[in-house]
Chains A and B, each alone.
Chain A
Amino acid sequence: MTALRWAVLILFAFLVNAPVIATLATSLKPPGEIMGNPGSG
């Protein structure tokens, strides 16, 4: 039961913070890598 609680907590924390994580990750990417992403051309 404890494991399930932790899993839900981690999933929730990730979902809530996903935009922040995405922005942080993008800020650390070199331009070439971003241009290689779908939809960025």
Chain B
Amino acid sequence: MNSPTIANYAEVLTVSERLNVYRHLWNSLAAASLGAVLPLLLCLPAAYVVVRRGWGRRFFFPLVVNLRAIPLIIFALPLYLMYQGVGLLDTRLGLGLILAVVNLPLTMAILVNAVAEIPLEIDEAAAMDGARAGRVLWRIILPLCRPALVTAFIFGFITAWNEFLFGLMLTTTKAVPMTVGASFFFASGGAGVQWGVAAAVIVVAGLPPVVLGLLMYRQIARAMLAGAVKG
């Protein structure tokens, strides 16, 4: 490199007709946050019931976790038609909802393991004091699962942020996420591909999950090792 320049970054960070990086970042942030938080809200009660009551242990739990193995493109066509029907096309809410579905299997697996690690005696002690299932879940299980919840959130957020297929398919102008916005630079418009600007956009698009991963690295490592060695 002879003369490094930040002109590419300046062009990326300037709002133009072709690219409004702030809007793409906001779209990605909103959709990825919803896509990471919603599975936590759905999976914690489900994991509690699967582990403590054994409901769905044989069919429901394997079914949800195996959703991960299905190629996402299979959902594409029916999902597009459904979204068209209910007016969710090109909305952050619609994108966030499908990202939540994408994240459900991993979140479910992490939380089932986390709840299984909590001794049953703690539940029983709370029940002796008169706490019902909802209160046990909210006051006992939730705080004890915090490392697993944080891990599931981080993995979910990173997966949702990096998701490309549904962003490309379900959005057109208003809710385009960062990954899809960055790809616009590879569609050469007359002057060929602007490699420098494209690279700068990709760097900007990749920064948020990298920063989140660096900040939360210790938490992830702790949660992944929890229960690895039983004393």
Asked if B196 contacts A27 (CB within 8 A), the reply is yes
Whether A23 contacts B199 in the complex (CB less than 8 A), given A33-B1, A33-B2, comes out as: yes
- The digit string for B1-38, where 1 denotes a CB below 8 A from any CB of A, is 11111111100000000000000000000000000000
Q: How near does chain A come to B60, taking the closest CB pair, in angstroms?
A: 39
How many of chain B's residues have a CB under 8 angstroms from any CB in A?
Answer: 17
The answer, yes or no, to whether A5 is at the interface (CB within 8 Å) is no
- CB 8 Å contact bits of A1-36 with B (1 = contact, 0 = none): 000000000000000000000011111111101100
Residue in A closest to B2 when the chains form the complex, CB atoms: A33
Give the docked Cα–Cα distance between A33 and B199 (Å): 14
Whether A23 contacts B3 in the complex (CB less than 8 A), given A34-B195, A34-B196, A40-B195, comes out as no
Query: Is the beta-carbon distance between A28 and B195 smaller than 8 angstroms?
Result: no
Interface SS of chain A: helix, strand, loop or mixed? Answer: helix
Find the B residue at minimum CB distance from A23.
B199
What chain B residues lie within 8 Å of A29 (beta carbons)? 1, 4-5, 8, 195-196
Within the complex, the shortest CB–CB distance from B5 to chain A, in Å, comes to: 5
Pairs A-B, 4 closest by C-beta atoms: A27-B199, A26-B199, A27-B200, A28-B4
20 contacts between A and B (CB under 8 A): A23-B203, A24-B199, A24-B203, A25-B1, A26-B196, A27-B9, A27-B196, A28-B1, A28-B5, A28-B6, A28-B8, A29-B1, A29-B4, A29-B195, A30-B5, A33-B1, A33-B2, A33-B3, A34-B195, A34-B196
Taking Cβ atoms with an 8 Å cutoff, the residues of A that contact B are 23-31, 33-34, 40
13 additional contacts, CB 8 Å, given A25-B1, A27-B203, A40-B195? A23-B199, A26-B195, A26-B196, A27-B199, A27-B202, A28-B1, A29-B195, A29-B196, A30-B3, A31-B196, A33-B1, A33-B3, A34-B196
